[in-house]
Structure 1
Amino acid sequence: MDKNNLALQAAQAVDTAELVRLTQELVRIASYYPGPGEQPVVDFLEPYLRRRGFQTTVQEVAPGRPNLIADLGQGSGGLILEGHSDVVTHGNPEQWTVPPYEARILDGKIYGRGACDMKGGLAAAICAAVAVQKVLGQPRKTLRLCIPCDEEGLMIGIKAFIRAGYAEGFAGAIICEPEENQVCLWQKGAMRVWVHFQGKMAHGAMPYAGANPIPSAARFVAALGGLQAALQSESQHEYLGLPWLTPTVFEAGAGTGQFNVIPDRVRVGLDIRTNPGQDHRALEARLRQVLEESLGAGVSATLEVFEVRPASETSRDTVLVQAVEQGLQLLQMPVRYGGVPGATDGTFLWAWAGLPVVTIGPGNRTVPHQVDEHIEIEELIAAARLYAAVAVLMLQNGLPAA
């Protein structure tokens, strides 16, 4: 039997009722951090996968924060299906129409924190891998489920996965993030920056006796608009749009109730999103120039870039992209290209491990992190069938027909 027919068999072998049930079970596990964390997800999924013929490994990344790795088959040139186990906090539960961890089904959608980002995509990957096992048994190339912790933070899970060598020997990775089942070959880069302003404390009635860092910080934040406009004039990507330079934190004050005290320090946080081709080191130098020009008398500042994530771009000529396109065509799904507005674990699989990555998964990309997060069941099923088909195409690539 040729691999196209095997791919279609795997797609049809996806247990859709189990897919819905598994998504609900995962949504019911609160795995935000700080809080319960990811351990309960791994405790649930590790025996689940072992019972279904997977070889499992639990990688301890930090206390209570494990990665789960589950393999079918052995051999190089296989495929990684990746979906993180953590979610963001639910916030104020009173703002939710449906309780955030009930996983209720309404109008063909599963509601709950993480349903879209990305317990749904994770369940789709798992059910797809189970379907592949039904069709291929233990394949001659490895199909690896990578289920890391901390995607919503500093991505310590995927970094540990790569450092331990778990990404070696694969032909590519599918990142099962909610991207409306679009073929996303491009991901924005990111820089995370702290700027610390240091002044001198004084009485609010006698500001001349101190050095107030707040005006300097305010001038710096205001000047960022001009730098952002310059960056946007230099780069606009067909699928990623414009780069953004966004202040997200402004912390100042001498303490609770200290209304008449000039503080001696201010902290500003920046979330910067870049396009392929934009040089992060050059951007850092431009930030430092804006900072220097913003400082008033008696005020100093330091700028700390504590996280850098490069923008990624996967060629359409790779075997992985061709398999994704072929899988979509086999399932009579539209081949629609898109770009990831944020970074994903795929950023580091691409940059550190050198893997081609395609981000494609179920869910509206604007829904994550909002109240009443949800995922459409129809889209969830389509993604699982696609993952199963693509996995077979990748695992059978270059092998004689069965």
Structure 2
Amino acid sequence: MDQEQAKSLLKELIQIKSVNPPGNETEVAKRLKILFDEHGIENEFVEYDNNRANLIAHIKGEEEGPALGFTGHMDVVPTGEIEWEHDPFAAEEQDGKIYGRGACDMKSGLAACVLAMVSLKKEGLPKKGSITLLATVGEEAGAVGAKQLTALGYADPLDALIVAEPTRNQIKIAHKGALWPQIITYGKTAHGSMPDMGTNAVIHMNEIIHKLLGEEFKMQFEEDDLLGGATFSVNAISGGSNTNVVPDRCMVNIDIRTVPSQNHQQIIGQIEQIIQSATLRYPDLKADIQILNDQPSLRTSREDPFVQVVQDAVKAKGGTTALGGMTGYTDGSQFSQASKKFPIIVLGPGDTKLAHQPDEYVEVDEYLSSIQLYKDIAKKFLA
């Protein structure tokens, strides 16, 4: 596949509005299936929900050998309220860049994985071992597709995995985990002129937040040399219905980003203790915790042989072999929970700083380079 064909595929994928919610990833999967079918690459849909299907593609050599995986998600985030200079679904090419929602995060990485497999298949590779693509739904809302595929055992045969999220083709061997607790307090409505007749859920939530931001709540962790420390942020709150009504419900969403030394269940237990502590001042306080997202952190050893394989491939193309980490999570969080442990590396075209931004784009040269880079990694690993 030449450069124009490679750009054409990416543009087609960007033009498919797989915005999550609701997802609509099946349309992306169908387009990729056409390409795989044209080149005799075995593939299958794994249905998740209405018009939402994961896509699995597989090529295998004649001899037994290691199994390499590539993964990318097919959903994208909404375009937002800020007006774009470039139509977010037109996939406009200008000054060496392709613009559009998902250009960076992460249809360029996904397309590069697909095209690398197609090119390898044309060359009669691999001779031994196998390559599997796991194209997922719902990464942007809890990595639900990766979770489903992991539960169904699709990741179990792998010996190594490349997550094609945007890193500017730099090697990331670690990323933080995500824990998103939602706390809801429940009260009793009353007329605003008679607050003593009600139970104010907002005041109760204020007590909980005050304690969470104070000395009582301290997450225990060891700083990671690539990821630093954990973070805690109160990011959304809502409560009450009107100025003259005592609120009977208040909700707050918290974003906690964790490092490998932490245990998510212990953190949840700490929050439960904080809520219990708040009842000392407000005995009638009632609250629930719901976990909206629970993604473990990821860390692959610097000494893993696969890391050296990737470094050699990147170095051969003139890239940096430095190893880094990421603050955000990827589908690697879920695939790391497979029954067999294997190294996971995040490596892909695009700058993560452009992800979820207006006028998101990927540099064409970087995208095209990643196709060859994935091919080189596969050849080295499966040699």
Task: Report if TM-score (shorter chain) is over 0.5.
Answer: yes
Q: Is the 8 A contact 2:211 2:217 kept in 1?
A: no
Partner of 1:308: 294
Alpha-carbon separation, structure 2, partners of 1:375 and 1:185: 22
Q: How much does 1:262 deviate?
A: 0.8
Whether 1:159 and 2:147 are equivalent positions in the alignment is yes
Q: Which secondary structure state, in structure 2, belongs to the residue aligned with residue 226 of structure 1?
A: coil
Q: How much does 1:248 deviate?
A: 2.5
Q: Which runs of 4+ in 1 moved over 6 A?
A: none
Q: Is the 8 A contact 1:31 1:86 kept in 2?
A: yes
Q: Which of these residues, 234, 246, 255, is aligned with residue 271 of structure 1?
A: 255
Residue type at the aligned position of 1:28? Q
Whether 1:139 and 2:127 are equivalent positions in the alignment is yes
Alpha-carbon separation, structure 2, partners of 1:378 and 1:370: 21
Alpha-carbon separation, structure 2, partners of 1:55 and 1:351: 25
* 1:218-241 CA distance string (max 9 Å, x none): 23224333369943x844333223
* 1:12-40 CA distance string (max 9 Å, x none): xx733222221111111110122461011
* 1:251-303 CA distance string (max 9 Å, x none): 2113xxx3210121111112211011012222122212222333434221122
Partner of 1:119: 107
* 1:55-83 CA distance string (max 9 Å, x none): 11111122211011111115552201111
Alpha-carbon separation, structure 1, partners of 2:249 and 2:272: 18
Q: Is the 8 A contact 1:115 1:373 kept in 2?
A: yes
Moved more, 287-296 or 208-217: 287-296
CA RMSD of aligned residues (A): 2.0
Q: Is the 8 A contact 1:188 1:340 kept in 2?
A: yes
Alpha-carbon separation, structure 2, partners of 1:139 and 1:201: 70
Moved more, 238-247 or 38-47: 238-247
Q: Which of these residues, 184, 209, 212, is aligned with residue 224 of structure 1?
A: 212
Q: Which of these residues, 52, 67, 73, is aligned with residue 78 of structure 1?
A: 67
Residue type at the aligned position of 1:83? G
Residue type at the aligned position of 1:175? V
Alpha-carbon separation, structure 1, partners of 2:127 and 2:137: 27
Partner of 2:137: 149
Q: Which of these residues, 33, 36, 53, is aligned with residue 46 of structure 1?
A: 33
Whether 1:245 and 2:232 are equivalent positions in the alignment is yes
Moved more, 314-323 or 60-69: 314-323
Residue type at the aligned position of 2:59? L
Q: Is the 8 A contact 2:126 2:382 kept in 1?
A: no
Partner of 2:244: 260
Moved more, 15-24 or 185-194: 15-24
- TM-score (structure 1 length as normaliser): 0.89
Q: How much does 1:311 deviate?
A: 1.1
Q: Which secondary structure state, in structure 2, belongs to the residue aligned with residue 218 of structure 1?
A: helix
Whether 1:17 and 2:4 are equivalent positions in the alignment is yes
Gaps of 5+ in 2: none
Q: How much does 1:202 deviate?
A: 0.8
Residue type at the aligned position of 2:348? G
Partner of 1:318: 304
Q: Which of these residues, 79, 103, 106, is aligned with residue 90 of structure 1?
A: 79
Alpha-carbon separation, structure 1, partners of 2:298 and 2:221: 18
Relative to structure 1, the CA distance from residue 140 to residue 234 in structure 2 (aligned partners, 3 Å threshold; closer, same or farther) is closer
Relative to structure 1, the CA distance from residue 383 to residue 293 in structure 2 (aligned partners, 3 Å threshold; closer, same or farther) is same
Relative to structure 1, the CA distance from residue 307 to residue 200 in structure 2 (aligned partners, 3 Å threshold; closer, same or farther) is same
Residue type at the aligned position of 2:315? Q
Q: How much does 1:155 deviate?
A: 1.8
Alpha-carbon separation, structure 2, partners of 1:324 and 1:267: 45
Partner of 2:268: 284
Alpha-carbon separation, structure 1, partners of 2:336 and 2:21: 28
Residue type at the aligned position of 1:100? P
Q: Which secondary structure state, in structure 1, belongs to the residue aligned with residue 140 of structure 2?
A: coil
Relative to structure 1, the CA distance from residue 132 to residue 229 in structure 2 (aligned partners, 3 Å threshold; closer, same or farther) is farther
Q: Which secondary structure state, in structure 1, belongs to the residue aligned with residue 306 of structure 2?
A: helix
Q: Which secondary structure state, in structure 2, belongs to the residue aligned with residue 116 of structure 1?
A: helix
Residue type at the aligned position of 2:164? C
Residue type at the aligned position of 2:302? R
Alpha-carbon separation, structure 1, partners of 2:217 and 2:223: 11
Relative to structure 1, the CA distance from residue 239 to residue 23 in structure 2 (aligned partners, 3 Å threshold; closer, same or farther) is same
Q: How much does 1:334 deviate?
A: 1.4
Gaps of 5+ in 1: 1-13, 397-402
Alpha-carbon separation, structure 2, partners of 1:15 and 1:141: 26
Q: Is the 8 A contact 1:149 1:158 kept in 2?
A: yes
Q: How much does 1:306 deviate?
A: 4.6
Q: Is the 8 A contact 2:109 2:349 kept in 1?
A: yes
Whether 1:387 and 2:371 are equivalent positions in the alignment is no
Alpha-carbon separation, structure 2, partners of 1:229 and 1:235: 16
Q: Which secondary structure state, in structure 2, belongs to the residue aligned with residue 21 of structure 1?
A: helix
Alpha-carbon separation, structure 1, partners of 2:355 and 2:215: 29
